[in-house]
Amino acid sequence: MSGDVDLEEVEKVLVAALEERELTYLRRGPGRLFVTLPGTKKLATHCWLVLTPHALLVEAFVCRRPDENFEEVYRFLLQRNARLYGVHYTIDRAGDIHLVGRVGLHAVTDDEVDRILGQVLDAADGDFNTLLELGFVTSIRREWAWRESRGESLANLSAFAHLVDGGDGGEN
């Protein structure tokens, strides 16, 4: 039972862990922290840390509902779930993709916060381009063609050059 765990003390552990890692966060009420995790492929992952009487809840938005290839996207998510620590992929009612997890209050330590947030970042940032390739290939190709036709930079699409016939790797 977690009745003997002081939620204020657990929140202090969370805040100290966030500050030690120099992560940006906002308090959105008692036991509710909105954390921004910096990434490379996905520029930022926003993550809720919410203390309840029995657990720390973790939720991070990963990407919106895929436009296409749902079966392949969901297969990827389910297979990826088998390799994740402390969180797993899920979809909401709109079909948007999230990472969620639950940690018992007794297990909330500096090291555990580091492991969980590290896993959220590794999954959300590391899987982001794969999810875009699987679920948004038509949109990527359309955006590429539009930018190319206008002479616009393809630099931030360069990771997807292999999806486009004649892709130049974003040198424009």
Model pLDDT, residue 170: 43
The pLDDT value given to residue 1: 45
Query: Is 35 contained in some domain?
Result: yes
Residue 57 has φ and ψ, to the nearest 5°, of: -95, 140
CA 97 to chain centre: 9
Kindly state whether residues 119 and 145 are assigned to the same domain. Answer: no
Give the residue numbers spanning the domain of 169: 141-172
Residue 124: Cβ within 10 Å count: 27
- Global pTM reads 0.89
161, 168 Cβ separation under 8 angstroms: yes
Same domain for 130 and 74: yes
Q: Which residues contact 165 (CB under 8 A, 6 or more apart)?
A: none
- Partnered with residue 88 across adjacent β-strands are 100
For the chain (length 172 residues), average pLDDT per consecutive 10? 77 96 95 96 96 96 97 98 98 97 95 97 97 96 94 91 69 43
pLDDT at residue 172, rounded to an integer: 41
pLDDT value of position 166: 59
Check residue 99 and give its pLDDT.
Answer: 98
Judge whether 1 lies within some domain: no
Q: Are residues 116 and 42 in the same domain?
A: yes
Contact 160, 133 (CB under 8 A): yes
Question: 96 to each of 63, 65, 92, 139, how far by Cα in Å?
Answer: 6, 4, 6, 17
